[in-house]
Amino acid sequence: MKIMDNFSKVLITTLSLSCLLLTGCKSTPDNVDEPECREANENCQEDGDDRGYDPCLVNNSLPVCKS
Amino acid sequence: MDAQEFKLQVAEVVGTWIAALAVVIGGIFGVFQYLEHKSAVRVDRSMAFVERYHSDGLLMQARLRVTQSMSQHVTQINAMLTDPNIAPNELATLYHSEIVKVIKRDELSGSLEQIFTFYEQIILCRELNLCDAAVGAQFFDTDGRAFLRTFYPHICHIRKQWNNPDKYQRVLSFYIKNSDAVCKY
């Protein structure tokens, strides 16, 4: 059954290669690095409070803030 | 059937299966590659908007003008927003007229329209699935929401002035959920 052994090897190799290629898709992780902070303990995650003037951060009773 | 014939038959069957598997796996791989490419193109389009947003062009000049104006008036605007003597139902009307006054005084109308148009373009690009939604959200939504919350009175003002109730509807409704109500003050 030498011929079967050869085909088994080919089959296993093909499948392994295909699996490797398929798992390669999207294998690069999405960038989840936090932005660099000016100071070590500073929370500089973008939470909507740190860029541009926003009247809702001063008084959220404006109708435009009801969202 | 002797041993040699059996081996040949097995070889034929196994060979066919391998070929079929290779075609299927190759096809799946191709589809993955195609989707990956589409996604990369969407990210590139979004990054082109980011570059435009931060480049030294007219848009940046417009943003700088608006920022400079706001830094001059922010104290009086904040004083009005935190004035305990102003009733909550009057606040929107006063804020509206104050912002319209600031825009008129500092001639910000052109700059604002440029920025609103830019935000509309990126929203349209996202809605048509031509740009990457996650990239757009990360780079523009914080700025865009704050900007719309600050300068929505200008949209209301020009809607009234131009008799066009749909002006900047896309950008207003994208960033402000109760957008239909905000221009009633």
Contact A54 B33 (CB under 8 A): no
Min Cα–Cα distance to chain B from A29, Å: 13
C-alpha span between B124 and B138 (Å, rounded): 16
Residue in chain A lying closest to B82 (CA): A59
Looking at chain A, the whole-number percentage of residues with pLDDT higher than 90 is: 10
Q: Which residue of B has its CA nearest to A19?
A: B25
- Assess if residue B14 is contained within a domain: no
Residue B12 lies in a domain: no
Contact B25 A11 (CB under 8 A): no
**Total domains in the fold of chain B:** 1
B56: which DSSP letter?
Answer: S
B78 within domain boundaries: yes
Q: What is the pLDDT of residue A48?
A: 41
Closest residue of A to B88, CA-based? A61
CA distances from B14 to A34, A57, B6, B19, B185 (A): 51, 69, 12, 9, 76
Q: Which residues of A touch B (CB under 8 A)?
A: 1, 3-4, 7, 10-11, 14-15, 18, 21-22, 25-26, 46, 48, 50-56, 58-59, 61-67
Q: Is residue B139 in a domain?
A: yes
Is B13 contained in some domain?
A: no
Q: Which of B68, B71, B145 to mutate to test the interface with A (most CBs of A within 10 A)?
A: B145
CB B155 within 8 A of CB B167: yes
Band (pLDDT 50/70/90 cuts) for residue A45 is: very low
Per the domain annotation, does B18 fall within a domain?
A: no
Give the Å distances, CA to CA, from B176 to A13, B141, B168: 56, 11, 12
> Which pLDDT score is estimated for B124?
95
pLDDT score for A46: 44
The boundaries of the domain holding residue B122 are 42-181
User: Is B27 a domain residue?
Assistant: no
The alpha carbon of residue A41 is apart from the nearest alpha carbon of chain B, in Å, by 22
The answer to whether residue B100 sits within a structural domain is yes
Q: How confident is the model at residue A41 (pLDDT cuts 50, 70, 90)?
A: very low
Run means of pLDDT, 10 residues per run, chain B, 185 residues: 87 88 92 94 95 90 94 94 89 93 95 95 95 94 94 94 93 90 81
pLDDT(A17) > 50: yes
Exposure of B95 by Cβ count < 10 A (0-12 exposed, 13-18 middle, 19+ buried)?
Answer: buried
pLDDT of residue A47: 45
Got the DSSP string for A9-67?
A: HHHHHHHHHHHHHHHHTT-SPP--PPPPPSSTT------SSSSS--GGGT-TTSGGG--
Chain B residue whose CA is closest to A21: B29
Taking the CA of residue B47 and the nearest CA in chain A, the distance in Å comes to: 15
